[in-house]
Amino acid sequence: MQTPEPQRYALRCLNGNEYRVRLNGTDTDGFVVPATEKKRDKIYVVKEGNKIHYVGITRRAMAARMRDGFKAAGIQGYHGYKFKDKTEATLELFVWSLPGAASEDSREYLETIEAEFAYLVRKTTDQWPISQNEIHFHPSEKSHRQFATKMMEEMLEEPDGRNHGKTPSR
């Protein structure tokens, strides 16, 4: 599968349980298609400068997924995103929306890419993503690793397409 282009958002955390996003390079507040589509597989990454905070997957609209991660308060053991209190930070949110409708088979595929990306961060920085809660591991294939590598390359590019080769750090 060819890696889709990510949507890049500026992410601002507010008072620990709210957030705002703005599509980078535009005056558009909030998520836009394809991130708004329900039942579409998405993989997303939150970073601060060259620090990777989190990698996650969802098949929900991104606003619904983010809302749950910001509003969570420990009920049923889920405390939400660890980065939600970073109100002074400049965060970026990258969203890769995969083509086609989500399927039962696609969850393991996404989880494998998610794990390969987390491993790539670990391999590059000697640490796991800073705010990662959990990872599901499955046997991977070359396509999963290529997708994760392409994600990392795209995250290192500036919005204007220049790549400064900034290696993620801890």
> Residues 64-73: pLDDT tens digits?
999 999 998 8
Overall average pLDDT of the 36-46 stretch: 94
Q: What is the mean pLDDT of residues 29-51?
A: 94
- The percentage of the chain sitting over the pLDDT mark of 70, rounded to a whole number, equals 91
Report d(CA 108, CA 104) in Å as an integer.
8
In 10 A of CB 13, how many CB atoms?
20
User: Quick check: 125 and 170 in contact, CB under 8 A?
Assistant: yes
In this prediction, residues 127-156 reach a mean pLDDT of: 93
Angle between helices 106-125 and 142-156 (to 10 degrees): 60
Taking only the tens place, the pLDDT of each residue in 50-92 is 899 999 999 999 999 999 999 988 888 888 999 999 998 889 9
Q: Tell me the C-alpha distance between 152 and 103, whole Å.
A: 25
pTM over 0.75: yes
Pairing of strands 42-48, 91-97: antiparallel
SS3 at position 156: helix
* Mean pLDDT for all residues in the chain: 89
Asked if pLDDT for residue 45 goes beyond 80, the answer is: yes
